[in-house]
Amino acid sequence: MDGPPEPELVRIRDVIYQTAGIFHPDNKLRLLQDRCGRRMKELKVQTLREYSECLTIRPTRQAELIALLNEITIGETSFFRNQPQLDALRRIVIPKILEAKSNLPLRRLRIWSAGCSTGEEPYTLRMLMLEELNVQLKDWSTEILATDLNERSLAHAEEAVYGSYSTRNLTPSYRNKYFIPQGDKLQVNALARSNISFSRLNLSDDSRMTFMKSMDAIFCCNVLIYFDLASKRRVIQHFFNNLLPHGYLFLGHSESLFGVNDDFRLVHLPGATAYVKGERTPAGGKSL
């Protein structure tokens, strides 16, 4: 950071946060500027001020926002994309879910990757579950539902072959245990592909959304940012209804539900945030 950030860039950052719910802290503003730069080149726009108008005043602002969000999320999909989030799932969230379900006869964990794109996220989750199979998840069955709107992405996910970019965060141990080399690429092996069901689903399809019941956790990363406020509210309400009382909703890095939904509660986990259903407790009920 060299001095205070450019006011126009801060304005664009705020527009993106207000409309899409994804936030760029000051140390990521240069990246945002770079992404805006690509769009400005495309539109032959000279200044950030002019580009900011493309996002706020011009009739095509909605389409431009989506084009910019596409630039922002390019290359976002990879295995083990958000390690603190995954660590929190394993160390804190799964124990809490298991505890909440300890008296139920059916020992089953159901996780939904909503907007799974080309499959890196659900396979990552499956690998984590496999790692816990003989530890926390002994005697538990796990089921991962992975949905996306895009059929080409789903076909890629089911083929499960990935290049070096997607697999860049893999540790040698995961690479050896759960992948088979395919030329210069890697394919997810049969074990890590088991117990995942891929299907096409439009999150705005109210009738089908009501069937995604009894979830323990939902991951919906960098998907809601493309929805307008009304659709976002409907999808979040479905998530709320689909989750079990102890359920968790995870969003993408720096993605927020602020101003979208009042029912979910924001919780802080080490290095990550999540949303829980929880009870409405009166503030000040508990001492630290």
Partner 1 sequence: MTAATATKQALLQRLDGLHQIPTIPAVLAPLLRYLQQPVEQLDVQKVTDLLSQDKSLAAQCLQMANSPLFGRAQNVQSLRGAVVSLGFHHVSDIAMSCGVLNMLPSDKASLDPVVFWEHSLGCALVSRQIARKINFGDPGKAYLAGLLHDLGIIVNLWVLPKEFRAAWEMGKGEGIPLHEAEQKSMGFTHCDSGRLLGERWALAPELIEVISYHHAPEKSAEHTGLVALVQLADLLCRMSGLNYGYVEERQVNLAEESGFGLLAQHSTALKDFDWARLTFELDSYMDEVHSLVRAIYRT
Footprint on this chain of partner 1 (rule: CB under 8 A):
1-4, 17, 23, 25-28, 88, 91-93, 96, 254, 256-259, 265-271, 273, 276, 278, 281-288
Name the residue nearer to partner 1 (CB basis): 153 or 222. 222
Site of tokens 């899409």: 20
Name the residue nearer to partner 1 (CB basis): 183 or 285. 285
- Please tell me the distance from the alpha carbon of residue 220 to that of residue 173, in angstroms, as a whole number: 27
Say if residues 78 and 168 touch (Cβ distance below 8 Å). yes
Say if residues 77 and 265 touch (Cβ distance below 8 Å). no
Coil, strand, or helix at residue 217? Answer: strand
Coil, strand, or helix at residue 242? Answer: helix
Name the residue nearer to partner 1 (CB basis): 230 or 288. 288
Closest approach of partner 1 to the CB of residue 1, in Å: 5
Name the residue nearer to partner 1 (CB basis): 163 or 270. 270
Closest approach of partner 1 to the CB of residue 68, in Å: 18
Name the residue nearer to partner 1 (CB basis): 93 or 235. 93
Say if residues 259 and 265 touch (Cβ distance below 8 Å). no
Closest approach of partner 1 to the CB of residue 265, in Å: 6
Closest approach of partner 1 to the CB of residue 25, in Å: 4
Closest approach of partner 1 to the CB of residue 221, in Å: 15
Tell the burial category of 270 from Cβ atoms under 10 Å away from its Cβ (0-12, 13-18, 19+). Answer: exposed
